[in-house]
Chain A
Amino acid sequence: MIRVVLPAHLRTLARVDGEVKLDVEGQATQRAILDALETRYPMLRGTIRDHVTQQRRAFVRVFACGQDLSHDSPDAPLPAAVAMGAEPFLVVGAMAGG
């Protein structure tokens, strides 16, 4: 079970409270988590990464275990603590004013 924390605006859009808990098949990677997230909440497609290129949107960051994983490969294994559900995978709106 993987725990995902979404920013407030995406929780509102997906109509979820608190953390999202996802079962992810195979190795826990950013891509696998986002694929599972978008399958359960299709309204989040395009809001975290581009529909076509799958590139992370410029003002979205992903953190876990106190680390910024935004620039890691989407296919890189995530820390074991995330894969085991001990630590959440955080999707964060970048500090960008407005």
Chain B
Amino acid sequence: MNRVRVLVGTRKGAFVLASDGKRERWDVSGPHFGGWEIYHVKGSPADPNRLYASQSSSWFGQVIQRSNDGGKTWEPTGNRFVYDGVPGTHQWYDGTPHPWEFARVWHLEPSPTDPDTVYAGVEDAALFRSIDGGQTWQELPGLRRHGSASSWQPGAGGMCLHTILLDPSHPGRIFIAISAAGVFRTDDAGTTWRPINRGLRSEQIPDPTAEVGHCVHRIAMHRSRPGVLFMQKHWDVMRSDDAGESWREVSGNLPTDFGFPIDVHAHEPDTIYVVPIKSDSEHYLPEGKLRVYRSRTGGHEWEALTKGLPQRDCYVNVLRDAMAVDSLDPCGVYFGTTGGQVYVSADAGDSWAPIVRDLPSVVSVEVQTLP
């Protein structure tokens, strides 16, 4: 029987949750790296025992950890993230130029084919790559040298590159998203980039349809159909059917279209999940109800999924990297909350149960489907 391994990053350490394919009984290990912020933990699709973790603290900065045995043991690898050349400036909150400064790694995206190749999205926004298992990191500087970069501004959480999608059918095509600059695409493995934000509308910026400046919270794709992208923007849930060349809104009947994560069902490319949040200044659930919304039509028409989730007095948030799906059948869906709960649905969202209820605030959730 297949197994699943859920990799949870929290404000105070990492946790590994393991179960068989029924996804009913769970072994919990952790905290790993207790006391440190774990922004992301992710496994290599090419070698599921190879895991990478981003560990950081305000005191001691950035550490990258690597495991070769599925999270039982870890070793620190390289943590030297140095921008290529003269870093230059972006806009600060007050509109003044501000030098690029490395703060932390938000997201690690291992290569689908090589366990030693992994991409890192960092704050201040840039994309790095390691081809030696995390020992050394090189920036792909074409992104930060895009002509618009000096105008990029941080969102409330910092100017982070938080999403990296490697297109499985177009070698060299990578999508990344930055808060608050927007989505960018390269078709030449990171040498050149261009913004792909046409169709986005953000009333919080002077030109609501500007080429860059949008606070994109998350983008997602289905591996079988990488030209179709889904986006949770600051406000608005969006969809692109042309690899990001244009976007259209699919918020439909959502109670609010503000939120952070978005993900796609493992076997149904038009089934997507979001967690609506009340507003940009009220980062908690509307009406005190924890509701995942599912669309089986690729947007527009949404249904609330509530079975097993608290429906009163619940005011947590679900952060952008804190939702994942496994590839079992039926598809499992997972998410973690700022209140320290990690929920699983073993039936594609129809019903939910907590795996753990009392972890530190959850920052990220990934899942591996194992033989």
Q: Across the two chains, which residue of chain B brings its CB closest to A52?
A: B82
Cross-chain contact B63 with A96 (CB below 8 angstroms): no
Judged by a CB distance under 8 angstroms, whether B58 is at the interface is yes
Judged by a CB distance under 8 angstroms, whether B36 is at the interface is yes
Q: Across the two chains, which residue of chain B brings its CB closest to A50?
A: B61
Judged by a CB distance under 8 angstroms, whether A27 is at the interface is no
Cross-chain contact B80 with A45 (CB below 8 angstroms): yes
CB distance from A6 to the nearest CB of B (A): 10
Cross-chain contact A46 with B62 (CB below 8 angstroms): yes
Give the most central of B36, B59, B79: most A CB within 10 Å. Answer: B59
Q: Within the complex, which residue of A43, A46, A96 is in contact with B59, where a contact is CB–CB below 8 Å?
A: A96
Cα distance A59–B79 in the bound complex, in angstroms:
18
The count of A-to-B residue pairs whose CB atoms sit within 8 angstroms is 43
Residues of B near A52 (CB, < 8 A) are 82
Main secondary structure of the interface of B (DSSP, over half): loop
Residues of B near A51 (CB, < 8 A) are 79-80, 82
Cross-chain contact B63 with A43 (CB below 8 angstroms): yes
Q: Within the complex, which residue of A47, A48, A60, A98 is in contact with B63, where a contact is CB–CB below 8 Å?
A: A47
Residues of B near A59 (CB, < 8 A) are 58-59
Given contacts A60-B60, A93-B59, contact A45 B79 (CB under 8 A): yes
Given contacts A9-B35, A51-B82, A52-B82, contact A46 B76 (CB under 8 A): no
Judged by a CB distance under 8 angstroms, whether B369 is at the interface is no
Cross-chain contact B60 with A47 (CB below 8 angstroms): yes
Judged by a CB distance under 8 angstroms, whether B192 is at the interface is no
Q: Annotate A1-28 by CB proximity to B: 1 below 8 A, 0 otherwise.
A: 0000001011001000000000000000
Given contacts A43-B76, A45-B80, contact A57 B35 (CB under 8 A): no
Cα distance A10–B33 in the bound complex, in angstroms:
11
B interface bracket (residues with beta carbon within 8 Å of A): 10 to 19
Given contacts A43-B76, A59-B58, A96-B58, contact A13 B82 (CB under 8 A): no
Cα distance A94–B79 in the bound complex, in angstroms:
22
Judged by a CB distance under 8 angstroms, whether B186 is at the interface is no
Q: Across the two chains, which residue of chain A brings its CB closest to B80?
A: A51
Q: Annotate B43-73 by CB proximity to A: 1 below 8 A, 0 otherwise.
A: 0000000000000011111110000000000
A interface bracket (residues with beta carbon within 8 Å of B): 10 to 19
Cα distance A60–B57 in the bound complex, in angstroms:
11
Cross-chain contact A48 with B80 (CB below 8 angstroms): no
Given contacts A51-B82, A52-B82, contact A60 B76 (CB under 8 A): no
List B8-48 residues whose CB lies under 8 Å from chain A: 35-36
Cα distance A94–B35 in the bound complex, in angstroms:
15
Cross-chain contact A48 with B60 (CB below 8 angstroms): yes
Cα distance A93–B61 in the bound complex, in angstroms:
12
Q: Annotate B79-104 by CB proximity to A: 1 below 8 A, 0 otherwise.
A: 11010000000000000000000000
Residues of B near A48 (CB, < 8 A) are 60
Cross-chain contact A57 with B61 (CB below 8 angstroms): yes
Q: Within the complex, which residue of B36, B58, B80 is in contact with A46, where a contact is CB–CB below 8 Å?
A: B80
Cα distance A48–B61 in the bound complex, in angstroms:
8
Residues of A near B62 (CB, < 8 A) are 46
Cα distance A18–B58 in the bound complex, in angstroms:
23
Residues of A near B82 (CB, < 8 A) are 51-52
CB distance from A41 to the nearest CB of B (A): 10
Residues of A near B63 (CB, < 8 A) are 13, 43, 46-47
CB distance from B105 to the nearest CB of A (A): 12
Cα distance A51–B76 in the bound complex, in angstroms:
16
Cα distance A43–B58 in the bound complex, in angstroms:
17
Cross-chain contact A98 with B60 (CB below 8 angstroms): no
Cross-chain contact A9 with B79 (CB below 8 angstroms): no
A-B contact pairs, 24 of them (CB 8 A): A7-B59, A9-B35, A9-B57, A10-B60, A13-B63, A13-B76, A43-B63, A43-B79, A45-B79, A45-B80, A46-B62, A46-B63, A46-B79, A47-B63, A48-B60, A51-B80, A51-B82, A52-B82, A57-B61, A60-B59, A60-B60, A93-B60, A96-B58, A98-B58
A residues lining the B interface (CB < 8 Å): 7, 9-10, 13, 43, 45-48, 51-52, 57, 59-60, 93-94, 96, 98
List the 5 closest A-B pairs by CB distance, nearest first: A43-B76, A47-B60, A59-B59, A93-B59, A46-B79
